């Protein structure tokens, strides 16, 4: 933000339109990490190589899985008995 507004800028004096313009410019800057492509250009490149497919609203992404560990029932009963002995 300091590239666009001086320090101690009162943002009450800046219009929503100016803020959106700066936001758009920041979001569309080329980035070294993306090989000097903007975020949108990188998204389009990746989407062209491996198109994104919606799973649909009815498809279950995560199902309930059975626990793979043993119950602590016996251990818990043991500690309850110890507590009663005190």
Domain total of the chain: 1
Instruction: For residue 62, tell me if it sits in a domain.
Output: no
Instruction: For residue 42, tell me if it sits in a domain.
Output: yes
Helix (H, G, I), strand (E, B), or coil: what is residue 37?
strand
Please list the residues that pair with 37 across neighbouring strands: 31
Instruction: Specify the higher pLDDT residue, 28 or 1.
Output: 28
DSSP-derived secondary structure letter, 59: S
Please give the structure tokens belonging to residue 12: 């009450």
Domain that includes residue 42, residue range? 13-52
- The vertex-15 CA angle with 12 and 17, nearest 5°, equals 150
Instruction: For residue 67, tell me if it sits in a domain.
Output: no
Instruction: Specify the higher pLDDT residue, 1 or 11.
Output: 11
> How does pLDDT run across 11-66, given as a tens digit for each residue?
888 899 998 999 899 888 999 998 999 988 998 898 888 777 766 777 777 777 77
Instruction: For residue 20, tell me if it sits in a domain.
Output: yes
pLDDT at residue 1, as a whole number: 67
Instruction: For residue 47, tell me if it sits in a domain.
Output: yes
Q: What is the spatial distance between Cα 37 and Cα 55, in angstroms, rounded to a whole number?
A: 28
Instruction: For residue 70, tell me if it sits in a domain.
Output: no
Instruction: For residue 38, tell me if it sits in a domain.
Output: yes
């Amino acid at each position: 933000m300091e590239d666009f507004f001086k320090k101690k800028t009162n943002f009450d004096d800046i219009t929503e339109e100016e803020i959106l313009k700066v936001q758009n410019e920041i979001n569309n800057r080329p980035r070294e990490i993306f090989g000097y492509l903007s975020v949108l250009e990188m998204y389009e490149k990746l989407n062209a190589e491996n198109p994104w497919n919606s799973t649909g609203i009815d498809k279950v992404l995560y199902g309930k899985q059975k626990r793979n560990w043993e119950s602590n029932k016996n251990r818990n009963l043991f500690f309850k008995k110890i507590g009663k002995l005190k």
